[in-house]
Structure 1
């Protein structure tokens, strides 16, 4: 393996290694628990568990939901204690928004992770909107992150001492025993930390904010109440399904399972907590069917229903009237120095909540699809089916069942369009929710399901102003991805239905009153296949009928006339001449005095250089361009920009990556005298003795000259391909716009040439293509540049642009950001023929003045992906440019 590949693998490991570990650990934990306790799962029939759940009386189910709500509401104690601690500041939050923020934060944290950081981050967004100072927000976050495990730690201590009996379970799982012992030490350490005792690391603790012992102890008591009420909710679930276990035993088993979930690092302990709970109940004499039924009730009543209610609150609370985006909160985070936050890779794990309202809406749509599919895979409730049988035919019921499967798959797919704020996705989702609600009634009289879908539709309608994007950019690979995803979901629907509908040999299947409403394997398979096919028939028509517009179209003759008029009033930049290649689109500001040239690759709109035109109209033009990109769900990137407008770019939410430096030779100061220029003098004298001369050829060029230059260009390229976008390629029409410098031998043969690239500022000259025959000698480029300096000085130019020198050291130092190390590796290897390390060394011999060039990319976007898109755009295969480019209509402006 060569050094470049090793470098890339190291960068990949540094960037994605921790994320992969966070995925691998939960999977490993679930695998270990399953194989250690698989004997306890023998005789498990999910269909029987579902039947037990469906036979729970409505009043008991309502009571369990109410208990789960109370358990979640108890976590508002964190906010109440913190509010009381801020009485002296005069910035207390009102109780009503505080309780809403607490509910949304806590239910989301329950689903996404026990660490406390997810909930704390959502609180920060609410607190910021309420005017709570940043210092107090960070203080709350620190308190929450430290106190969330105190209650579980104390309960672990009770389990070890035997006050919460767990039987022989700890002896059978040594790794779990070690974890429980480890967690049991946390609560005394927590109290010592905030007791005011002198500690070696007290200075670090004081940096996180002054938190009194009273406040810390109160938060610890809230944590204890949180875990106790969660355990009581699980005990109620166990009792409802008929398991006769005492409260202390159930609490002990719950504590062990929660500890396993924490150690697995899985969000909400998913998988590990569930398996350990089932094993624990089975070891204590519970039938696996009853254990699964209890677990399902607990997950629905403590996690799912409160979280769905929280999503409704979030979607309603974060209407477009005054949103606070996470990107701004991330800016605040970047100014703090909280080393402990890195344990959970904060705030990256909350990036998906950049807009809480739209995130909540897309989650509700996704959940609506899952509800329809789970409902379709589950046997209907007997009493309702018998009642419905008097009003509709069995054929209507089966047809309705099939429609709900299609609607479920469609809603899962459309949730992505809701996330991207696509107007057409919003319209189709409303229709699908209405159809799904209607056929839920005809399928099995599922009134609750229909009401839920109707509520989601109503919330979407109220939020209709959020959906403004005209088109969502997608690639063929993304379509393949979604086809595979919907196929997997359809397959999961079939497997779930197979699990939840008992076989004829099972005791449930032998009951004639129940078997009539179970789905057979053949029916499930048909529903899955027809559902998948129907979903993609509808989506295909939907995509086919979508607007065919594109945010990238070549400039026309009118655009070039406007460009000429603009350059007559305002100066250009070193990259302006490349706009005449015809491979970039022109975005004109409303005022018409600013031009932003860009190219498109995948979902990126890549602007080349700083915008051209009126500097006083630049801010409004950038706002219009960002709005334009947002309407098409594109990522606006600024490539090779100068330091002149960095402050303005920063105001628009851009982050920066140093690409390299551009060298400018002062023609008035450049001289060949002195010892350092001895090599250059020797090169010039040698070529002049041999009769080489510079021939400046003005357009139009003869055919013989074009063929001669083409031959030199092809020899210079060899097996390499032409680059583009930020570089010119051999294109005769483009070359005819400026003089060409040709180096000729004494016999008049051309051996090297350079195309002149005007700077459009009246003082700068530059070159674009510099190409020579391989046998022209090692000093031919030096001689060409020296002769060009003489020519440019004679033409009245004051400086000469040598072009970019990309930094070979970008991302190579161990102190560089991991993403920058990977981005630097991508850029160096995708554009390998540039030989970056030697470019700057070569240009230094002319003693240029270096000006830094940057890449600006929006917050939340991946630097690695942006750099890859730019590299692929530059390296795109260049064919013959169509002459229609300069006359074709279709230039786009807002």
Structure 2
């Protein structure tokens, strides 16, 4: 036994396993396996999708119908915020109801799009709750409560399907393996009820009290979970009913329930892959074409997942830039911010040098990434014919072609620059502002796509409001980063070509300068890749970071009063000797050194010098 344990420890600590863990490979294996299995079961339906028909079906929808769908989807997403209101009452959290609802929207929408097994939502809630000085045990207990009870409603709907109250029979007959998945999900609810009432786990949910969870809280949470999944299913049905008139509500809820259970098993964000393929199978078995069924899935993903997530990103960016709770220790400091109205705060921003916070910077980075993605998608997919004709009559052919090509170039560059925005790099901020403004102009002139232009301008305004928070000169960036982003842009360029070819209807072959063949899309993609890779190489060669800590260096802190020897190791600045200078200033010198390191997104590492610094700081006057 000892030998086996030792062998397992060696395997766990091996470089290969550590590399796999670093790239999150184990977390991706289960979702990939489930998606591959589901795809194998329904690959014929997937291959029969006509993506041109799919996009055409979406573009032909009325604005009023889309607005109704989006409003109902937002209402469905808002229902999920009820969980946080329950834990606010149960754990007596000192957070206003409106604030905790905003936190819930940020965490839930991000978890639905990028969260594996709830990790993203848990991390965001931890950061947001810590702003209110809530103890970690209480945060952990609340997250554990949410993680276990949010799927109880889907389990109850699984029982409804097994008893025939929700029609699932067609899918279960054609694919019997799904029946086992549904049974497994149905058994989750009784298991959760037993766990919640057990004294063994009571300390997790009652803050170390020994009494089990009260039935009132359990019943309220299960009821809210049923409401959450029912509202999500009704959003799916409403989406399908707009494209497939006459679809009964019971049939829509049945398909959604089976698909949601399959998506839950794959543990991917939003059940992506498993949910979509199963829903496609279900709609196809009901007699609907694969192209229109795919349009239902695309529109559902946009209305229930992506657009609410973008709203959540804006909320997160505002939360960590313009908002924030005033700490008691800062009350004595002179502060005139309370006399400013919201408009003045919007354009002046917080004081210089104040950190935006990792969540806020991350949110802005993802908004920039989304802006680049929108530009590429707009360039790859066909536009409304009336806009194309009008653009041809008003603008010259070379200008239209140039606008299309530059939209692709700017889209790829924005995707790369999103990394710099996430790390609060000032040069990346300047380039991003310029490219967002240019991208909005070019996407408008190429086919009068005002929707995409307004989105880009909105992201540009969000960045401009946060401009004083971008203070770093650079961030760790080496050959590995350049290669990684080069690979990412290559994959995205191939996706642009694939989407462009698959969604171009034949009627566009005779319309204007827009690409319609594989070679035309490839030429545009190669040009965009060339510009993007040239930028990656230039940043690698001329980055300011390259000169920081090369060999043994000396940092002159406090205008030369203290000299700190250091060297650089990857993303750290390591103090390699005793600071020289007045001992009274060592503490402040170390703070100066930390600010210097933070300017390049580096962390400071030192051993016994930390104690010396604290002593020097206490003696400073």
What is the TM-score when the length of structure 2 is the normalising length? 0.85
Corresponding position: 1:550 with 2:555: no
- Correspondence for 2:593 among 616, 625, 638: 625
Corresponding position: 1:368 with 2:371: yes
Are the structure 2 counterparts of residues 17 and 42 from structure 1 closer, same or farther at C-alpha, using a change threshold of 3 Å?
Answer: closer
Which ranges of structure 1 fall in alignment gaps of 5 or more residues? 325-352, 503-508, 554-582, 652-894
Are the structure 2 counterparts of residues 511 and 243 from structure 1 closer, same or farther at C-alpha, using a change threshold of 3 Å?
Answer: farther
Following superposition, the deviation at residue 358 of structure 1 comes to 0.2
Are the structure 2 counterparts of residues 490 and 39 from structure 1 closer, same or farther at C-alpha, using a change threshold of 3 Å?
Answer: closer
Map of 1:237 onto structure 2:
239
Tell me how far apart the structure 2 counterparts of residues 223 and 6 of structure 1 sit (CA, whole Å). Answer: 40
Map of 1:253 onto structure 2:
255
Map of 1:441 onto structure 2:
444
Following superposition, the deviation at residue 173 of structure 1 comes to 3.6
- Correspondence for 1:521 among 491, 513, 518: 518
SS of residue paired to 1:587: strand
Following superposition, the deviation at residue 428 of structure 1 comes to 0.3
- Correspondence for 1:645 among 603, 607, 611: 611
SS of residue paired to 1:168: helix
Q: How does 1:349-498 map to 2 (within 5 A)?
A: 355-498=358-501
SS of residue paired to 1:586: strand
Tell me how far apart the structure 2 counterparts of residues 135 and 587 of structure 1 sit (CA, whole Å). Answer: 41
Tell me how far apart the structure 1 counterparts of residues 363 and 33 of structure 2 sit (CA, whole Å). Answer: 30
SS of residue paired to 1:596: strand
Following superposition, the deviation at residue 17 of structure 1 comes to 6.3
Following superposition, the deviation at residue 310 of structure 1 comes to 0.9
Map of 1:141 onto structure 2:
143
Higher percent of residues as helix: 2
Corresponding position: 1:607 with 2:553: no
Are the structure 2 counterparts of residues 84 and 407 from structure 1 closer, same or farther at C-alpha, using a change threshold of 3 Å?
Answer: same
Tell me how far apart the structure 1 counterparts of residues 10 and 135 of structure 2 sit (CA, whole Å). Answer: 42
Tell me how far apart the structure 2 counterparts of residues 517 and 247 of structure 1 sit (CA, whole Å). Answer: 41
CA contact (8 A) 1:143 1:216 kept: no
Map of 2:353 onto structure 1:
none
Following superposition, the deviation at residue 242 of structure 1 comes to 2.1
CA contact (8 A) 2:81 2:104 kept: yes
Are the structure 2 counterparts of residues 382 and 146 from structure 1 closer, same or farther at C-alpha, using a change threshold of 3 Å?
Answer: same
Tell me how far apart the structure 1 counterparts of residues 174 and 609 of structure 2 sit (CA, whole Å). Answer: 64
Following superposition, the deviation at residue 106 of structure 1 comes to 1.4
Following superposition, the deviation at residue 546 of structure 1 comes to 5.5
CA contact (8 A) 2:81 2:105 kept: yes
SS of residue paired to 2:555: strand
CA contact (8 A) 1:22 1:265 kept: no
Tell me how far apart the structure 2 counterparts of residues 480 and 116 of structure 1 sit (CA, whole Å). Answer: 30
Tell me how far apart the structure 2 counterparts of residues 48 and 516 of structure 1 sit (CA, whole Å). Answer: 22
Following superposition, the deviation at residue 315 of structure 1 comes to 0.7
Tell me how far apart the structure 2 counterparts of residues 371 and 599 of structure 1 sit (CA, whole Å). Answer: 42
Tell me how far apart the structure 2 counterparts of residues 647 and 14 of structure 1 sit (CA, whole Å). Answer: 39
Following superposition, the deviation at residue 517 of structure 1 comes to 6.3
Are the structure 2 counterparts of residues 43 and 321 from structure 1 closer, same or farther at C-alpha, using a change threshold of 3 Å?
Answer: closer
Corresponding position: 1:32 with 2:37: yes
Map of 2:154 onto structure 1:
152
Instruction: Tell which deviates more after alignment, 270-279 or 397-406.
Output: 270-279
Deviation by residue 1:120-170 (Cα, 9 ceiling, x = unmatched): 432333333245454543342222112111111111111111111112322
Deviation by residue 1:586-635 (Cα, 9 ceiling, x = unmatched): 22331755443222244332222565565543432222222111112234
Map of 2:99 onto structure 1:
97
SS of residue paired to 1:645: helix
SS of residue paired to 2:169: coil
Are the structure 2 counterparts of residues 11 and 451 from structure 1 closer, same or farther at C-alpha, using a change threshold of 3 Å?
Answer: same
Are the structure 2 counterparts of residues 286 and 515 from structure 1 closer, same or farther at C-alpha, using a change threshold of 3 Å?
Answer: farther
Are the structure 2 counterparts of residues 181 and 321 from structure 1 closer, same or farther at C-alpha, using a change threshold of 3 Å?
Answer: closer
Tell me how far apart the structure 1 counterparts of residues 441 and 206 of structure 2 sit (CA, whole Å). Answer: 59
Tell me how far apart the structure 2 counterparts of residues 150 and 408 of structure 1 sit (CA, whole Å). Answer: 41
Instruction: Tell which deviates more after alignment, 313-322 or 202-211.
Output: 202-211
Tell me how far apart the structure 1 counterparts of residues 528 and 508 of structure 2 sit (CA, whole Å). Answer: 30
Corresponding position: 1:589 with 2:592: no
CA contact (8 A) 2:148 2:192 kept: yes
Instruction: Tell which deviates more after alignment, 627-636 or 364-373.
Output: 627-636
SS of residue paired to 1:636: strand
Deviation by residue 1:655-701 (Cα, 9 ceiling, x = unmatched): xxxxxxxxxxxxxxxxxxxxxxxxxxxxxxxxxxxxxxxxxxxxxxx
Tell me how far apart the structure 1 counterparts of residues 77 and 592 of structure 2 sit (CA, whole Å). Answer: 44
Following superposition, the deviation at residue 284 of structure 1 comes to 1.9
Deviation by residue 1:547-583 (Cα, 9 ceiling, x = unmatched): 5872225xxxxxxxxxxxxxxxxxxxxxxxxxxxxx5
Map of 1:227 onto structure 2:
229
SS of residue paired to 2:547: coil
Q: How does 1:665-814 map to 2 (within 5 A)?
A: none
Deviation by residue 1:326-366 (Cα, 9 ceiling, x = unmatched): xxxxxxxxxxxxxxxxxxxxxxxxxxx97110000000001
Are the structure 2 counterparts of residues 16 and 521 from structure 1 closer, same or farther at C-alpha, using a change threshold of 3 Å?
Answer: closer
Tell me how far apart the structure 1 counterparts of residues 508 and 493 of structure 2 sit (CA, whole Å). Answer: 29
CA contact (8 A) 1:49 1:292 kept: yes
CA contact (8 A) 1:142 1:208 kept: no
Tell me how far apart the structure 1 counterparts of residues 460 and 507 of structure 2 sit (CA, whole Å). Answer: 40
Q: How does 1:817-828 map to 2 (within 5 A)?
A: none
CA contact (8 A) 1:366 1:415 kept: yes
Tell me how far apart the structure 2 counterparts of residues 202 and 102 of structure 1 sit (CA, whole Å). Answer: 24
Which ranges of structure 2 fall in alignment gaps of 5 or more residues? 1-5, 327-355
CA contact (8 A) 2:363 2:422 kept: no
Following superposition, the deviation at residue 472 of structure 1 comes to 2.8
Tell me how far apart the structure 2 counterparts of residues 6 and 128 of structure 1 sit (CA, whole Å). Answer: 37
Map of 2:312 onto structure 1:
310
Are the structure 2 counterparts of residues 207 and 93 from structure 1 closer, same or farther at C-alpha, using a change threshold of 3 Å?
Answer: closer
Higher percent of residues as strand: 1
Map of 1:21 onto structure 2:
26
Q: How does 1:55-94 map to 2 (within 5 A)?
A: 55-85=60-90, 92-94=94-96
Tell me how far apart the structure 2 counterparts of residues 166 and 626 of structure 1 sit (CA, whole Å). Answer: 60
Tell me how far apart the structure 1 counterparts of residues 131 and 9 of structure 2 sit (CA, whole Å). Answer: 44
Following superposition, the deviation at residue 478 of structure 1 comes to 2.5
Following superposition, the deviation at residue 486 of structure 1 comes to 1.7
Q: How does 1:860-879 map to 2 (within 5 A)?
A: none
Map of 2:352 onto structure 1:
none
Following superposition, the deviation at residue 538 of structure 1 comes to 4.9
Map of 2:528 onto structure 1:
531
Tell me how far apart the structure 2 counterparts of residues 231 and 97 of structure 1 sit (CA, whole Å). Answer: 27
Deviation by residue 1:401-423 (Cα, 9 ceiling, x = unmatched): 10100000000010111112111
Deviation by residue 1:787-810 (Cα, 9 ceiling, x = unmatched): xxxxxxxxxxxxxxxxxxxxxxxx
Are the structure 2 counterparts of residues 616 and 224 from structure 1 closer, same or farther at C-alpha, using a change threshold of 3 Å?
Answer: farther
Deviation by residue 1:206-253 (Cα, 9 ceiling, x = unmatched): 566674331232122221111111111111111111254321122111
SS of residue paired to 2:564: strand
Tell me how far apart the structure 1 counterparts of residues 73 and 163 of structure 2 sit (CA, whole Å). Answer: 28
Aligned length: 577
